[in-house]
Structure 1
Amino acid sequence: MKDYAVVVCLHGDELFGLEVIDKISKEIPIFIGNPKAIEHKTRSIDSDLNRVFPGNPFGDEEEKRAFFLLEKLKDFKYIIDIHSSSGDTDLFGIITQFSKEKINLVQKLGLSKLVIMPSNLASGKALIDHVSCGISLEVGPHEKKEIVDEVMGALNNINEEHSSNREPLIIYQVIDIIYGEDNANPFMINFKEVKKGDLIAKGNKEYFAEKDFIPIFVNEKSYKNILCLATKIITPEELI
């Protein structure tokens, strides 16, 4: 089995992935997730590609593409799926199921933040749910020039020995979805703790935190009627 493969642009509006292609080592195979969506200047053609894996060779455009991608990726041990978000956020990793092998991959990439995302949030149909050992990298916003360098810093770590000066890893587990109006103005910052009773957003009404949590995906435009995802910090021992 081959080692690493990188996937970019599962969503056609996350175009910074094309810049990653220009900078990544030629030794690491890279796959464009949704070229037709890029061509049509849209996020997707028929369906959210990252919600239809393992795909269907006779399905809609994204279902066929998902099936094709898995055929290409099945011989790789580690899959790194790169995304950008509409909100301003530090680089972090996402996995849907814990394993020591995935934690080792996270540490190899030199990430300081890892989010455990319950697979039911993506109905178990995200790319990383259907590969041998997969992690998504998320950074934002889409148009921020520095995000390419942030991602490349992680990818370049693949070919380096572990460095002792990397930041310690903090693991966040998603515990809730915080719903609200699409036009609500959020007062939260990604990865900055919110306390119970804090005003977290204002639209046609005010939204107050019902509990303490750490928000991620604040102001994510692709999440309709969602203000953010709520997380808490956990230890690796809690996952075993």
Structure 2
Amino acid sequence: MRVAQIGSGTPEIAVVAGVHGDEPCGVRAVERLLDERPTVERPVKLIVANERALERQVRFVDEDLNRAFPGDPDAATHEAQLAHRLVDELEGCFTFSMHSTQSHADPFAIVNSVSETANELVPQLPVSAMVETSNFAEGRLFSEIDTIEVECGLQGSETAAQNADRLTRAFLTAVGVLPGDTVHRDLPVYRLTDVIRKAQADTYEVFVDNFTEVEAGDPFAAADGNEQVAEEAFYPVLMSSNGYRDVFGYAAEKVSVLTPSTAAD
């Protein structure tokens, strides 16, 4: 784990990249900040988390770090030990954590709950949606640390790296680390309601687009040609044919739309 700081004093804001070793977009954003060393109005901690997985260009070494929190210093796995160290390092910091995905090109935010802070900050970020994990947060960083996660774009793409840089700077501006103003956007809010599992198969297909409503009775995915049909309407989130080993993604409900006037209040 690499830890650095810009600005003097005790940071109350942190940026985390490289939770997964096959998602380098956030690492590039952190490295650019460290290269430029911009003038800051309050200190910020910058962390590149899973250096061992990044070096190997794999998602994780032993287990998914973003399912290993709070971790254990005496654990048998690299990631569980690292999770414990990361929680200690982030204590007292409001945290921004960057990821990328195989399922959706447009950036979106993921939060543990739709809090007043999330309602205020996330509409200031260049994201297309905010997703509340609801009952699906176990083992994730924001189950232990007050965190906004962002999916920056498609894994390994140059666009995701560019998005990570824009998102990081927007976040740091919104929380008063960087000077300047942000733009409030209309922002749809979704809540995860179910996991969409997939059977073991040789080939997988997804027929729907993330954040576009699937009507009851519509086929939305297939495993070896066997279609799965929606029993009730839902919004797919993180749906991908090969993103996860045993699930296609998640079903969600649309909760609300935050407007600039609502965010300003």
TM-score under structure 2 normalisation?
Answer: 0.79
Q: 168, 184, 195: which one pairs with 2:215?
A: 195
Any idea what SS the aligned residue of 2:74 has? coil
Q: 142, 162, 183: which one pairs with 2:155?
A: 142
Distance apart, 1:150 and its partner CA: 1.9
Distance apart, 1:84 and its partner CA: 0.6
Any idea what SS the aligned residue of 1:104 has? helix
Q: CA–CA distance in 1 between the matches of 2:236 and 2:74?
A: 39
Which amino acid is 2:167 matched to? A
Which residue pairs with 1:210 in the alignment?
A: 231
**Counterpart contact for 1:213–1:231, Cα < 8 Å:** yes
Distance apart, 1:215 and its partner CA: 0.7
Which amino acid is 2:198 matched to? G
Which amino acid is 1:54 matched to? P
Pair 1:151-2:164 in alignment:
yes
**Counterpart contact for 1:96–1:116, Cα < 8 Å:** yes
Pair 1:3-2:16 in alignment:
no
Which amino acid is 2:242 matched to? K
Pair 1:53-2:69 in alignment:
yes
Q: CA–CA distance in 2 between the matches of 1:111 and 1:186?
A: 23
Any idea what SS the aligned residue of 2:127 has? coil
Distance apart, 1:94 and its partner CA: 0.6
**Counterpart contact for 2:24–2:161, Cα < 8 Å:** no
Identity %: 26
Which residue pairs with 2:190 in the alignment?
A: 172
Any idea what SS the aligned residue of 1:235 has? strand
| Shift in CA distance, 236/145, structure 1 to aligned 2, threshold 3 Å | closer
Distance apart, 1:90 and its partner CA: 1.3
Stretches of structure 1 that go unaligned for 5 or more consecutive residues are: none
Q: 136, 144, 151: which one pairs with 1:121?
A: 136
| Shift in CA distance, 174/143, structure 1 to aligned 2, threshold 3 Å | same
Q: Let me know the Cα RMSD of the aligned residues.
A: 2.1
| Shift in CA distance, 203/47, structure 1 to aligned 2, threshold 3 Å | closer
Q: CA–CA distance in 2 between the matches of 1:30 and 1:226?
A: 32
**Counterpart contact for 1:89–1:190, Cα < 8 Å:** no
TM-score under structure 1 normalisation?
Answer: 0.87
| Shift in CA distance, 110/184, structure 1 to aligned 2, threshold 3 Å | closer
**Counterpart contact for 1:88–1:139, Cα < 8 Å:** no
Stretches of structure 2 that go unaligned for 5 or more consecutive residues are: 1-9, 174-179, 259-265
| Shift in CA distance, 186/207, structure 1 to aligned 2, threshold 3 Å | same
**Counterpart contact for 1:50–1:127, Cα < 8 Å:** yes
| Shift in CA distance, 140/162, structure 1 to aligned 2, threshold 3 Å | closer
Distance apart, 1:236 and its partner CA: 7.5
Which residue pairs with 2:84 in the alignment?
A: 67
**Counterpart contact for 2:212–2:235, Cα < 8 Å:** yes
Distance apart, 1:65 and its partner CA: 0.7
Q: CA–CA distance in 1 between the matches of 2:137 and 2:158?
A: 28
Any idea what SS the aligned residue of 1:84 has? strand
Which amino acid is 1:151 matched to? A
- Report how many aligned residue pairs link the two structures: 231
Distance apart, 1:88 and its partner CA: 2.9
Q: 88, 91, 97: which one pairs with 1:81?
A: 97
Q: CA–CA distance in 2 between the matches of 1:220 and 1:140?
A: 16
Alpha-carbon deviations, 1:43-72, whole Å to 9, x = none? 111121111111111112111111111121
Distance apart, 1:220 and its partner CA: 6.0
Which residue pairs with 1:185 in the alignment?
A: 205
